[in-house]
A and B are shown apart, each in its own frame.
Chain A
Amino acid sequence: MRRRKLSLAGALVLGAVTLAAWFWYAHDLRVPSSSSLPHAEVTGATGSPAASPAASTAAPLLSREAEEGRLLFERYCVYCHGISGDGFGINAPNLLVEVPNFTDPDFMPRRTEGDLVDAITRGGRGRFGLPIMPEWRLRLSDREIDALVLYIRTLASRKPTGDQPD
Chain B
Amino acid sequence: MLAGTGLAVVFAVLIVREARPEWARHQRSFFEQRRVAAERALQAAEEALRRPDAAKRMRDLEARVGAAEAALAAPDAPGGYAQAAREAQQTERELSRVQDRLQRTRADYQRVERDFLLAATESERQRLRARLDELSAGVQALARDRDRLAAGHDAMRRDLRALTAERDAARQALAEFQQPLARAHAEVAAVRRQRPEVQQVLLDTLARVDRCPTCHVAAATPGFDQGAEPLRTHVGYYVRNHPVERFGCTVCHGGQGRATRLPAAHGRVLHWRERLLDRDLVGGLCAVCHRGDRIPGEPYAAAGRRLFVEAGCSGCHDVGGVTAPRIGPSLATIGKKVTPAWIAFWLRDPQVYLPRTRMPSFLLSDQEIADLSAFLLSLSTSPPTTAPSGGRDEARRSARASQADAVKRGETLYKESRCVTCHAVNDRGGTIGPDLGRVASKLRDGWLAEFLHDPARLSAGTKMPRYRFTDAEIADLAAYIGSELRDFDEASWPAPPQTAGRAAEGRVLVRKYGCFGCHEIPEFQRTGRVGAELTGYADKEVDRLDFGLRRDVPRTWRAWTDTKLRDPRGFRDGLKMPDHRFSEHDRFSLLTYLASLREEKPPAEYLREVNGGPRYEPEGRFGELAAELNCLVCHSIRGRGGTLAPDLTREGSRVRPEWLRRFLDRPNTIRLFLEERMPRFRLTPEEIGVIAGYIETVLVDAAVPGRVFAPGEITAALIERGRSLYFDTYGCNACHQIGMQGGAIGPDLTATRERLREGWVYAWLRNSRSLDATVREPVYELPDEEARAITAFLLSVTQSEAYRVSRD
Could you list which residues of chain A lie within 8 angstroms of chain B, going by C-beta atoms? 7-8, 10-12, 14-15, 18-19, 22, 28-32, 34-37, 39-40, 42, 45-50, 52-54, 56, 58, 61, 63-65, 67-68, 70-71, 75-76, 79-80, 90-91, 94-95, 123-125, 130-132, 134-136, 138-139, 142-143, 147, 165-166
Contact = CB atoms under 8 A, between A and B. Distances in A.
Nearest to A48: B280
10 contacts: A7-B3, A15-B10, A30-B269, A46-B235, A52-B562, A61-B585, A64-B298, A79-B745, A134-B735, A138-B780
Interface string B632-650: 0000000000000000000
A134 B735 CA distance: 10
B806 to A, nearest CB: 12
Interface in B561-611: 562-563, 566, 583-586, 588
Contacts of A132: 731, 734
A95 B743 contact: yes
B726 to A, nearest CB: 10
Given A68-B299, A91-B673, A131-B731, A50 B280 contact: yes
A11 B7 CA distance: 7
A2 to B, nearest CB: 14
A64 B566 contact: no
B744 A65 contact: no
B554 A46 contact: no
A130 B7 contact: no
B321 interface: no
A130 B744 CA distance: 19
B169 interface: no
Given A29-B269, A30-B268, A19 B10 contact: yes
Given A67-B299, A68-B297, A143 B237 contact: yes
B269 A39 contact: no
Interface in B101-157: none
Interface in B673-704: 673
B237 A64 contact: no
A39 to B, nearest CB: 5
Contacts of A64: 280, 283, 297-300
A121 to B, nearest CB: 11
Contacts of A123: 778
A42 B234 CA distance: 13
A28 B269 CA distance: 7
B268 A35 contact: yes
B67 interface: no
B6 interface: yes
Contacts of B552: 53
Contacts of B298: 64, 68
B583 to A, nearest CB: 5
Contacts of A91: 673, 734-735, 743-745
Contact of B235 (A45, A90, A142): A45
Given A14-B7, A67-B300, A138-B769, 19 more contacts: A7-B3, A8-B3, A11-B4, A15-B10, A22-B14, A30-B268, A35-B556, A39-B278, A40-B280, A47-B279, A47-B280, A64-B298, A90-B673, A94-B744, A95-B734, A125-B731, A131-B729, A138-B779, A143-B237
B405 interface: no
A55 to B, nearest CB: 12
Given A37-B558, A64-B298, A91-B745, A134 B280 contact: no
A15 B5 CA distance: 11
B160 interface: no
Interface string B754-790: 0000000000000001000000111111000000000
B387 interface: no
A34 B742 CA distance: 62
